[in-house]
């Protein structure tokens, strides 16, 4: 398969996964808890059904590959092949459980073992009828139309910025979020990182921040590529300063903005607030 065919394969896998997740939700069983997945979160039946549907389709079309997925963890199919698929079957499970439309199926594909090896991705939000996708060096698309990240050139006070949920029992994230608010930022916390990053790529959000180093690879592997291909400025890093690994254990900080100037303004505010750079977050956050 060439890259375009691989992209079409993961798009179909995402659509099929979403359809099955919606089916069990409508039947009244999708929101039932099924223990905890490999990522540590509570798994819903909808999570498991979506994941199995996506993986089964990939097995049918490709056969051998490696998977990094929220529920089953890291697993090799066949002889491993040359592709790694990074899957969050339902990013925004809490929203899904309550029937809120802010959830998405996220699938990325890579050749290699690090985040920089991702070359294709799809984020599909079925209840919003939004399908974001991208191939490296070929642009980002929403429902078949090319998209670009965009923002105004004025200050922070006009910006819509999404933030991830801060870790428990930590006062530093709360201080930073408060500082953003005092600068007039319209803050959003939608509960689906992949969808928020994809919305940034289409111009609906100006920036996205996880400045606490808690972001999982499965949540953002596809969406960060979509944002990059839409022209967004991205700052992503792991604990050791090397390119983040495609692993369920990996945690990263992430700052993505529609422009470099906006990213620098946010990073500067972070530095002024705490006296250290966002790249040093793992040295400070415990």
Binding site for Mg(2+), residues?
70, 88, 90-91, 219
Q: What is residue 76's three-state secondary structure? A: strand
DSSP conformation class of 165: P
**Residue 157 to residue 99: CA distance in whole angstroms:** 32
What are residue 257's DSSP bridge partners?
207, 233
- How many Cβ atoms from other residues are within 10 Å of residue 3's Cβ? 15
Nearest 10 degrees: Cα torsion 227, 228, 233, 237: 100
CA 27, chain centre distance (Å)? 28
**Residue 173 to residue 152: CA distance in whole angstroms:** 26
Backbone phi and psi for residue 272, each to the nearest 5 degrees, phi listed first:
-65, -35
Label the pairing between strands 130-135 and 118-125: antiparallel
**Residue 200 to residue 97: CA distance in whole angstroms:** 24
DSSP conformation class of 114: B
Q: Could you tell me which residues are annotated as the binding site?
A: 70, 88, 90-91, 219
Label the pairing between strands 84-91 and 65-69: parallel
**Residue 130 to residue 16: CA distance in whole angstroms:** 14
Label the pairing between strands 33-36 and 130-135: unpaired
Contacts of 60 (CB under 8 A, 6+ apart): none
Tokens of 118: 């991702």
């Amino acid at each position: 398969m060439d890259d375009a065919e691989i992209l079409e394969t993961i798009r179909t896998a995402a659509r099929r996964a979403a359809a099955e997740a919606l089916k069990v939700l409508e039947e009244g069983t999708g929101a039932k808890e099924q223990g905890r997945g490999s990522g540590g979160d509570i798994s819903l039946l909808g999570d498991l059904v979506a994941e199995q549907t996506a993986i089964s389709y990939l097995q049918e079309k490709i056969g051998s590959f490696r998977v990094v997925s929220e529920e089953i963890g890291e697993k090799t199919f066949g002889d491993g092949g040359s592709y790694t698929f990074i899957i969050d079957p339902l990013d925004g499970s809490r929203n899904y459980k309550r029937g809120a439309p802010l959830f998405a199926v996220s699938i990325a594909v890579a050749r290699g073992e690090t985040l920089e090896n991702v070359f294709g991705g799809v984020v599909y939000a079925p209840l919003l009828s939004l399908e974001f996708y991208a191939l490296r060096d070929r642009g980002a698309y929403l429902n078949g139309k090319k998209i670009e990240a965009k923002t105004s050139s004025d200050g922070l006070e006009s910006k819509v910025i999404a933030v991830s949920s801060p870790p428990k029992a930590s006062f530093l994230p709360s201080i930073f979020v408060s500082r953003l608010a005092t600068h007039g930022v319209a803050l959003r916390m939608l509960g689906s990182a992949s969808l928020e990053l994809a919305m940034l790529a289409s111009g609906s959000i100006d920036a996205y921040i996880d400045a606490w180093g808690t972001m999982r690879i499965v949540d953002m592997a596809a969406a960060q590529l979509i944002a990059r291909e839409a022209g967004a400025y991205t700052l992503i890093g792991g604990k050791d300063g090397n390119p983040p690994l495609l692993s369920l254990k990996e945690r990263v900080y992430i700052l993505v903005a529609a422009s470099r100037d906006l990213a620098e303004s946010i990073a500067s505010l972070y530095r002024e607030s705490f006296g250290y750079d966002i790249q040093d977050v793992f040295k400070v956050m415990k």
